[in-house]
């Protein structure tokens, strides 16, 4: 589904990603873990060419997307949520949801879409008429995630950067349950610092340190793998 092969990334003259590789299978949830500055977000952005790779190759469904423009990659069915706030401050929450249905012949109206979003995050229901610029960080995060989940057609690949940031524990649980529901239907890559929020729903994972993958494995025992990831992030051997 998604294959990242031996990529290098530079910011100016400074190399930040080194010969990095991983493969995500169709329908699975794959997590990238690492401390701040490890290169997780840069790796995710490289998958849709928001940052340029100077070496290596990235393929999606056997198509070489390494040097395609971001809008071209997204047109293949890739959804991306930024770590940053990234909402339209002068649009209401409801107006945001009016943008997500790409099928001009679809039967869903905006009220149906808003109801679908509220089923995922009930806390968003009373915010529909509020301008996004007035939302708290957690409320804006719910809006960003809900927009991905209610998009039609659903993305074939979701790239989620720090999705649990700002969410209450209850909404982290709702978010995780939604991802479980999508497993097998959508391929998902999650970048997370909060290991516990992701490892329980993850099929495969990689740990990044200083711009390179230092460990990859399948999650067979959640508690054991969480301990392994914690040790690696702290700089200890697994």
pLDDT digits 0-9 by tens, 63-103:
999 999 998 998 888 988 887 778 889 999 999 998 887 55
Claim to verify: residue 23 and residue 137 sit in the same structural domain: no
3-state secondary structure of 232: helix
The domain of 32 spans 2-77+155-233
135 part of a folded domain: yes
Residue 13: how many other CB atoms lie within 10 Å: 5
Span 204-208, average pLDDT? 94
- Please state the pTM of the whole predicted model: 0.89
Claim to verify: residue 72 and residue 108 sit in the same structural domain: no
Domain-ending residue, one of 152, 181, 199: 152
Q: Give me the pLDDT at residue 237, please.
A: 65
34 part of a folded domain: yes
pLDDT tens for each residue of 1-52: 899 999 999 999 999 999 999 999 999 999 999 988 899 999 999 999 999 9
192 part of a folded domain: yes
Length of the chain: 238
Q: Give me the pLDDT at residue 102, please.
A: 58
Claim to verify: residue 165 and residue 69 sit in the same structural domain: yes
173 part of a folded domain: yes
Q: Give me the pLDDT at residue 228, please.
A: 87
Domain-ending residue, one of 126, 152, 178: 152
Task: Find out whether 229 and 205 touch, Cβ atoms under 8 Å.
Answer: yes
82 part of a folded domain: no
Claim to verify: residue 168 and residue 148 sit in the same structural domain: no
Q: Angle at which helices 110-120 and 137-149 pack, to 10 degrees?
A: 120
148 part of a folded domain: yes
Is beta strand 14-24 parallel, antiparallel or unpaired with respect to 187-192? unpaired
83 part of a folded domain: no
66 part of a folded domain: yes
CATH of the domain at 15: 3.40.50.300
Domain count across the chain: 2
Query: How much is the CA Rg of the chain, to the nearest whole Å?
Result: 18
């Amino acid at each position: 589904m998604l294959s990242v092969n031996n990529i290098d990334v530079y910011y100016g003259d400074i190399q930040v990603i080194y010969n990095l590789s991983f493969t995500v299978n169709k329908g699975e949830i794959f997590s990238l873990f690492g401390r701040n500055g490890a290169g997780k977000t840069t790796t995710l952005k490289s998958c849709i060419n928001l940052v340029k790779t100077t070496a290596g190759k990235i393929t999606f469904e056997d198509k070489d997307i390494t040097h395609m423009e971001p809008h071209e990659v997204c047109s293949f069915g890739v959804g991306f949520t930024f770590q940053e706030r990234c909402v339209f401050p002068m649009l209401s929450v409801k107006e945001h949801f009016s943008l997500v249905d790409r099928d001009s012949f679809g039967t869903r109206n905006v009220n149906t879409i808003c109801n679908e979003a509220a089923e995922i995050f009930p806390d968003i229901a009373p915010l529909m008429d509020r301008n996004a610029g007035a939302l708290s960080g957690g409320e804006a995060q719910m809006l960003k995630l809900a927009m991905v989940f209610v998009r039609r057609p659903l993305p074939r690949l979701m790239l989620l950067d720090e999705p649990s940031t700002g969410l209450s524990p209850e909404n982290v649980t709702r978010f995780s349950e939604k991802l479980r529901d999508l497993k097998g239907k959508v391929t998902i890559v999650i970048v997370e610092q909060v290991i516990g929020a992701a490892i329980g729903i993850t099929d495969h994972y990689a740990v990044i340190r200083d711009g390179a993958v230092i460990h990859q494995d399948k999650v067979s025992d959640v508690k054991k793998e969480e301990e392994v990831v914690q040790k690696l992030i702290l700089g200890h051997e697994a």
